[in-house]
């Protein structure tokens, strides 16, 4: 579905003001290479300014690459932007493709004409989205009066009316409450598995990736740092997990082989223990711990996605230094 | 809608008072404009103003500034063509709500110079429609400048201030000295207002006026098309 080879995009940024300006070249996307097969769901993550949105703009044909090769659905996006636009759907979490002053339904009608969707197809697809996303109650409400959660459901519907082969989502769950996020994820998973729509989504929310994307791509400073299943990446980069235990009475940390007590809090009531996932399981560890001390509560903490990315980035810097 | 038409009528009365005072002082005629022609000129001008939409709302420029233009750019359409279609649609509505009211007002209450040849009516509508297309093209260019300037309010303001004089809204272009008349008619600006008014009044050669307008409509749209292409190729879309 997507084929990207040594993709590169540079921008000129002014470094001084005045009549004689100096420019420096900033590389937003730096020799990026990847493939996405049909029906895949890929999470594309990285810190702000990593080059995610620039990549997406090149994939949709809005931005022309400085160099490199892109094919989306077999076509060159910037050369055949209009043909491609009919075959892909894009949702920008922070922008709206709906008409602000029109009722939601009127926006859909306009998109039907813009994308030249036949009347029966339009009706089936709209009905499906209305049912699955629960749009009925605000279908005739002007977009400006919708809550963010309602609007995002509308945005996703708008992107799906022409039954795209690929759905690109740029931070679709940003700012949503837990219930709205959950509902959206369920729906996206459904269209991915049932309709076979390829998903490419950028996000800062680890749960989005965990729920939706078997595959994760990490980018920072314009370079792909890692590409593979989330669990593998996490195990590889941050092999240590943390077990947090709250004791019923203050005391020293339990002594279990293969476990390091990194921190104790509240005068010995709470202890942070790290262990390597390759060496022991959380269950085995907990069994040993409760044998030694009386535990009031415990939690296993997974490394945050930001930690994973930071570690990946540090690794990249170290590799560059060794070269 | 009602507010727009009312404003156009009130300003029409003010302009009429000033220009007809000048015409009366000049023994009833300046450069082919007697009192009836002056009336007609003022009321058509006041109507065309809202119909061709001389001063837009700078919405596209705001979308460029905020980065929302990215949504407009990825749709399966030619952005300029889509916006033109939208503006022509707006014109259809403005025909009834903005162009007709001041003209009817002028016809009913003041001496009005009706065309001698009824064929002038459809020709006037044609000319006004081309004027709308050119007006769109100029506004599109002014707004598109935001891709390079980011903040185009200076240019937008300059256009809003100067367009009245350049297009023949403030006073008829025929009132200008010869060098200024020649310079203006070599530019696209009179095509926005003065040309359709001249078609209605029978000033000048209709065919020449329409050809002049058609030339500029094509030229301005072509410039807009290439400017858009360059904007998309060269310029950053704001905000991540």
B209-224 pLDDT, tens digit per residue, is 999 999 999 999 999 9
Given a cut of 50, whether residue B239 has pLDDT beyond it is: no
Instruction: Over range B164-172, report the average pLDDT.
Output: 90
Q: Give the integer Cα–Cα distance in Å for A150 and A138.
A: 8
The reply to whether residue B74 touches residue A85, judged by beta carbons under 8 angstroms, is: yes
- Chain B partners of A11 at a C-beta cutoff of 8 Å? 236
Nearest beta carbon to residue A57 from set B70, B78, B82 = B70
Given a cut of 80, whether residue B147 has pLDDT beyond it is: yes
Helix (H) or strand (E) holding B198: helix B194-201
Instruction: Over range B140-161, report the average pLDDT.
Output: 87
pLDDT tens by residue, A178-236:
888 888 899 999 999 998 999 999 988 878 888 888 898 988 888 888 888 877 887 77
Angle (deg, nearest 10), helices B59-66 and B120-144: 20
Given a cut of 60, whether residue B238 has pLDDT beyond it is: no
State which residues of chain A have pLDDT below 70. 16-20, 304-306, 323
At residue B234, the pLDDT reads: 62
Tell me the pLDDT of chain A averaged across its residues: 85
Of A225, A246, A183, the residue nearest A315 (C-alpha): A225
Q: Give the integer Cα–Cα distance in Å for A280 and B13.
A: 90
Burial A72-89 (b: 16+ CB within 10 A, else e): bbeeebbeebeebbbbbb
Nearest beta carbon to residue A114 from set B76, B232, B237 = B76
> Which residue has better confidence, A35 or B238?
A35
Share of chain B above pLDDT 70, in %: 97
The reply to whether residue B74 touches residue A49, judged by beta carbons under 8 angstroms, is: no
Other C-beta atoms closer than 10 Å to the C-beta of A98 total 23
Other C-beta atoms closer than 10 Å to the C-beta of A279 total 13
Measured CA angle at B58 (ends B94, B2), to 5 deg: 30
State which residue of chain B sits closest to A11, comparing Cα positions. B236
CA B159 to chain centre: 12
State which residue of chain B sits closest to A85, comparing Cα positions. B76
Of B91, B100, B104, B106, the residue nearest B15 (C-alpha): B106
Nearest beta carbon to residue B237 from set A63, A81, A94 = A63
Given a cut of 60, whether residue B82 has pLDDT beyond it is: yes
pTM: predicted TM-score of the whole model, two decimal places: 0.80
Q: Give the integer Cα–Cα distance in Å for A135 and A320.
A: 51
Residue B112 burial by CB count (10 A; 0-12/13-18/19+): exposed, middle or buried?
middle
Q: What residue has token string 């005045």?
A: A18
ipTM: 0.76
Nearest beta carbon to residue B73 from set A48, A62, A83 = A62
Given a cut of 90, whether residue B189 has pLDDT beyond it is: yes
Q: Are A174 and A94 in contact (CB under 8 A)?
A: yes
The reply to whether residue A82 touches residue B73, judged by beta carbons under 8 angstroms, is: no
Helix (H) or strand (E) holding A296: strand A295-301
Q: Give the integer Cα–Cα distance in Å for A61 and A159.
A: 16
The reply to whether residue A62 touches residue B236, judged by beta carbons under 8 angstroms, is: no
Q: How far B162 CA sits from the closest chain A CA (Å)?
A: 27
Nearest beta carbon to residue A60 from set B74, B77, B82 = B74
B240 — pLDDT class (breaks 50, 70, 90):
very low
State which residue of chain B sits closest to A55, comparing Cα positions. B240
- Chain B partners of A115 at a C-beta cutoff of 8 Å? 76
State which residue of chain B sits closest to A162, comparing Cα positions. B76
């Amino acid at each position: 579905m997507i084929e990207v080879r040594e993709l590169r995009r540079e921008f000129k940024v002014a470094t001084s003001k005045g009549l004689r300006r100096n420019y420096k070249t900033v590389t937003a996307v730096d020799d990026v290479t990847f493939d996405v097969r049909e029906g895949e769901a890929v999470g594309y993550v990285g810190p702000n300014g990593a080059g995610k949105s620039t990549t997406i703009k090149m994939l949709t044909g809005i931005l022309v690459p400085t160099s490199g090769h892109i094919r989306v659905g077999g076509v060159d996006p910037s050369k055949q932007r209009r043909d491609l636009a009919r075959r892909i759907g894009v949702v920008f979490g922070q922008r709206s493709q709906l008409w602000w002053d029109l009722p939601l339904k009127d926006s859909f009608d306009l998109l039907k004409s813009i994308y030249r969707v036949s009347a029966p197809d339009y009706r089936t697809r709209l009905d499906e989205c209305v049912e699955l996303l629960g749009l009925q109650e605000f279908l005739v409400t002007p977009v400006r009066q919708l809550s963010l959660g309602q609007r995002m459901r509308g945005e996703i519907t708008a992107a799906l009316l022409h039954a795209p082969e690929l759905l690109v989502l740029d931070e679709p769950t940003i700012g949503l409450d837990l219930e709205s996020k959950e509902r959206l994820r369920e729906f996206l998973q459904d269209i991915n598995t049932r309709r076979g729509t390829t998903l490419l989504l950028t996000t800062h929310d680890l749960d989005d990736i965990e729920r939706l994307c078997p595959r994760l791509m990490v980018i920072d400073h314009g370079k792909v740092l890692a590409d593979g299943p989330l669990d593998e990446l996490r195990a590889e980069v941050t092999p240590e997990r943390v077990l947090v235990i709250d004791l019923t009475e203050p005391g020293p940390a339990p002594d279990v082989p293969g476990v390091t007590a990194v921190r104790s809090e509240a005068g010995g009531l709470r202890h942070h223990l790290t262990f390597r996932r390759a060496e022991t399981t959380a269950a085995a560890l907990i069994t040993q711990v409760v044998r030694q001390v009386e535990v009031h509560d415990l939690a296993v903490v997974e490394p945050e996605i930001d930690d994973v990315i930071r570690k990946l980035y540090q690794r990249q810097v170290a590799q560059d230094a060794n070269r | 809608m009602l507010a727009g038409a009312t404003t156009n009528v009130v300003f029409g009365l003010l302009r009429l008072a000033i220009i007809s005072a000048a015409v009366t002082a000049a023994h009833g005629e300046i450069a082919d404009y007697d009192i009836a022609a002056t009336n007609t000129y003022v009321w058509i001008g006041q109507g065309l103003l809202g119909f061709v939409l001389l001063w837009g709302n700078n919405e596209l420029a705001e979308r460029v500034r905020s980065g929302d233009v990215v949504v407009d750019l990825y749709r399966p359409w030619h952005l300029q063509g889509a916006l033109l279609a939208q503006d022509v649609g707006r014109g259809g509505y403005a025909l009834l709500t903005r162009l007709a009211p001041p003209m009817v007002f002028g016809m009913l209450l003041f001496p009005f110079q009706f065309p001698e040849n009824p064929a002038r009516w459809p020709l006037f509508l044609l000319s006004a429609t081309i004027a709308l297309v050119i007006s769109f093209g100029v506004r599109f260019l002014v707004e598109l400048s935001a891709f390079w300037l980011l903040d185009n309010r200076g240019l937008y303001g300059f256009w809003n201030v100067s367009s009245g004089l350049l297009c023949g809204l403030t006073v008829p272009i025929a009132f200008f000295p010869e060098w200024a008349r020649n310079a203006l008619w070599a530019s696209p600006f009179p095509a926005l207002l003065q040309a359709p008014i001249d078609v209605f009044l029978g000033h000048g050669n209709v065919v020449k006026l329409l050809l002049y307008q058609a030339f500029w409509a094509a030229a301005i749209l072509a410039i807009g098309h290439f400017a858009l292409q360059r904007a998309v190729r060269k310029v950053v879309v704001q905000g991540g």
